[in-house]
Structure 1
Amino acid sequence: MAPIGLGLALQQADAQTTADSLRLVPAHAAPPGAPYRAVEVRVPSAAAALGATLTIPCGATDRLPAAVLIAGTGVQDRDGGVVPDDRYRPLRQIADTLSRRGIAVLRLDDRGFAEGKLWSPPTAEEVAADVRNAVALLRGRADIDPQRLLLVGHSEGGIVAPMIAAGDSALAGIILLGAPAKSWRQTRQELARAAAERDPRLRTAEERDSVASAQLASEEVMITRVRAFGFLADHDPLPAARRVRRPSVLILHGATDQQVPPAHVELLAAAFRAGGNRDVRVRLFPETNHLMVHDPHGDPSGYEALPSQTVTAEVLGALAEWASTRLGARSDPQPSTCR
């Protein structure tokens, strides 16, 4: 399971297991019969060049629109996965969906993922720097239209995308999935109290307060141990959102999300609008969790038991339709097969 939850990412950082021993470099070739080809590229980074895959639709007669995908918290590969048998690979799904609509997609490994060891998760600022380099790489390619680029960010990636867009008005759009509108510390406080309120074993307010406080105290340890969490702990995403007067914004969120409460959606949308952005759309999906997977309950402790670990067709459809419209991509969801 990808480390969308910060506790899982801490376990990953503690392990310091070599990438080779976990076989963390899966093949990223296009599936058989896909109407796009997959090209391996390298994205410059302050640490080391990052492995990445660019999916390029076939049959194009002009420069292509493109998207850069941004994963959530943790050290993940370009598919959004952590281990080879991880069933949850959202970025690969999104890339496949968009490239079938005529949109080139660049997805990149997090710092350290395929470089022989797992480093501590990069901070949001470090991820933003790498994504800016990815955008520059696309703008420098002869087959990509530099005026038709968008960012797609999940979870922490939904914090990173506005950070970049606030200083890059040439982007055509940003899509945020499960993005928080508050700092990590504030969000965890909300969730700890909500979990205590739902626990039938806790019968008094004192018991609920005690359990919530204990949970928060244990999570404070993560803030001091992992730089990525230290940055997120008090980082307010809303100021960056207010600075994004353009490009267009699409916010997608699961109604049963228990990692970023659905109430964050309107707070985030209001911040974009308050800054003067006139094109902000919101979609809330029923029975959909933080992973954008079908889940009536949304409890992270139940993720592994879910029958499916795939992003829902409804979410992918909404994402693809909006992106195709904003980028002027093909309406045909199945462009020509590569020859």
Structure 2
Amino acid sequence: MKIHFLYFLISAIFSFNLSAQINRPQEPKEPFNYIIEDVEFKNNMDSISLAGTLTYPKEGSNFPAVILISGSGPQDRNSDMMNHKPFMVIADYFTNKGIAVLRVDDRGTGASEGNYNATGLDGFVSDTNSAFEFIKTHSAINPVKIGLIGHSLGGVIAPIIASKNQDVSFIVLLAGSGIRGDKLMLLQKEIIERKMGVPEAGITQGQNYMKGAYNIILNSNNDDNQLQSDLKDYFNEIFGAMLTDSQIKSLSEQMSMPWLTDFIKFDPKESLSKTKCPILALNGANDLQVPSKENLEAIEAILLANGNTNTKTMTLDDLNHLFQESKTGLPNEYAIIEQTFSPMALDIMFEWIKRQTE
């Protein structure tokens, strides 16, 4: 999940060195040995146009395909963050191996219409469904071999779609969560703060403060203005001596954004328990934002109860939330690591998808 919401804004106590690094050795460079199409399609449910890039091999036809689904926060089709372009790296790798890839600007980003922060999870599901229906009609694509790859929040969206659409051939969850959003965010906060050396008393106090805010969200209805007012009153009560009125107002506004409140309330069990297609779930051992043990164990238990046996879960050593080889997994490493996406993780995904589409 994009750190400015699920870590910086929620913890509200740390700052990161996100200085951009120039050296990104994995970033694909021209000439490309595949076809690149800029595409545009409609989300008819919300009456917006979405734009992206479709890549597929120059030779052959009837290609299997994947749609990439980004994590939280508005991102462009490359998932460009801190001069890293992970979705571009993934698309280049898969396309060179014979798998078509569609990557899309999130609504309100790049060439896509709409307003990201005014949208709930249903809107993001609708966007990806629209991408799925679009790619099914493309002459180069095999319509019965299309899967979804979702990172972080995208790993929540992918099972929602697959649980309702039997045409989804498979899904890959990259740091997808298996526990309810509020529990995940509290766990994330605790682990990162402990890793950074915050005293235990401070960690406990922070947990109590944020539990109170999440309980307000969990008990809220669909009135965004009322929720924002309730959060503002709560933060004034606990942070009034530490934060300015402007900071409290900003924090309340951001925590009442529809997509974030939907995520806090959402339990992945709702969709994973109904998902019957093959599933690959990967997490990094150094992922501090979606911790591997708690989430993969939850995903495994849900799928076991579901009876879906065509599943695989793996914890990958040394990888952080962005699937970079890392030392600590802390977000302040993301920008200074030259690697954009682990080659090992790319290989594992490709070999698994190849087996599903043969």
Q: Which letter does structure 2 place at the counterpart of 1:325?
A: R
What is the TM-score normalised by the length of structure 2? 0.77
Q: 1:119 to 1:154 in 2, by over 3 A?
A: same
2:106 equivalent to 1:110: yes
1:183 maps to 180
1:222–1:301 distance in 2 versus 1, CA, 3 Å = farther
2:326 is the alignment partner of 1:295: yes
Query: Partner letter of residue 317 of structure 2?
Result: P
Q: 1:10-69: CA deviations, max 9, x gaps?
A: 79xxxxxxxxxxxxxxxxxx8423221110111212252111110011110x31111111
> CA, structure 1 residues 4+67, in 2 after alignment: closer, same or farther (shift >3 Å)?
farther
CA contact (8 A) 1:223 1:230 kept: no
Is it true that 1:321 corresponds to 2:319 in the alignment? no
Q: Which amino acid aligns with 1:52?
A: G
1:115 and 1:218 map into 2 onto residues whose CA distance is 35
Instruction: Quickly say closer, same or farther: Cα 1:248–1:7, change in 2 above 3 A.
Output: closer
Whole-angstrom CA distance in 2 between matches of 1:64 and 1:9: 41
Which residues of 2 match residues 14-29 of structure 1 at below 5 A? none
Matches of 1:143 and 1:201 in 2, distance apart? 53
Q: Distance in 1 between matches of 2:38 and 2:122?
A: 25
Question: What amino acid is the match of 2:285?
Answer: A
Aligned pair partner of 1:213 in 202, 208, 211? 208
Who is 1:77 aligned against?
76
Q: What does residue 272 of structure 2 align with? A: 241
Equivalents in 2 of 1:154, 1:198: separation in Å? 23
1:228-262 CA deviation, whole Å, 9 max, x = no partner?
A: 111101100112001012x1110111001000111
Unpaired runs of 5+ in structure 1? 12-29, 329-339
Q: Does the CA contact (< 8 Å) of 1:75 and 1:118 recur in 2?
A: no
Change (3 A) 1:117 1:218: farther
1:24-43 equivalences in 2 (<5 Å) = 31-43=29-41
Aligned to 1:310: 340
Pairing of 1:35-74 with structure 2 (within 5 A): 35-45=33-43, 46-60=46-60, 62-74=61-73
Structure 2's unaligned 5+ residue stretches are 11-27, 215-230, 232-251
Partner Cα separation in structure 1 for residue 65 and residue 203 of structure 2: 48
How far does residue 187 in structure 1 lie from its aligned partner after superposition? 1.0
Q: Does 1:253 align with 2:283?
A: yes
The correspondence for 1:266, drawn from 289, 294, 297, is 297
Q: How big is each residue's C-alpha offset from its partner over 1:138-179, in whole Å with a ceiling of 9 and x where there is no partner?
A: 111222111111100000000000000001122221001001
Counting aligned pairs with the same residue, the percent is: 25
Distance 1:88 1:123, change over 3 A: farther
Give the whole-Å Cα distance in 2 for the aligned partners of 1:137 and 1:178: 26
Structure with the largest fraction of helix? 2
Partners in 2 of 1:198 and 1:3 — Cα distance? 19
Do the aligned residues in 1 keep the contact of 2:7 with 2:189 (CA within 8 Å)?
Answer: no
Q: Counterpart amino acid of 2:325? A: H
1:134 aligns with 2:165: no
Q: What is the total number of aligned residue pairs between the two structures?
A: 302
Are the counterparts in 2 of residues 47 and 111 from structure 1 also a CA contact under 8 Å? no
- Distance of 2:197 and 2:62 partners within structure 1: 58
TM-score, scaled relative to structure 1: 0.81
SS in 2 for 1:244: coil
Bigger shift: residues 119-128 or 73-82: 119-128
CA contact (8 A) 2:49 2:113 kept: no
Q: Please tell me the residue identity of whatever aligns with 2:126.
A: A
- Once residues 195 and 56 of structure 2 are traced to their aligned partners in structure 1, the CA distance between those partners, rounded to angstroms, is 47
Structure 2 residue aligned with 1:155: 152
| Partner secondary structure for residue 297 of structure 1 | coil
The answer (yes or no) to whether the contact 2:107–2:116 under 8 Å persists in 1 is no
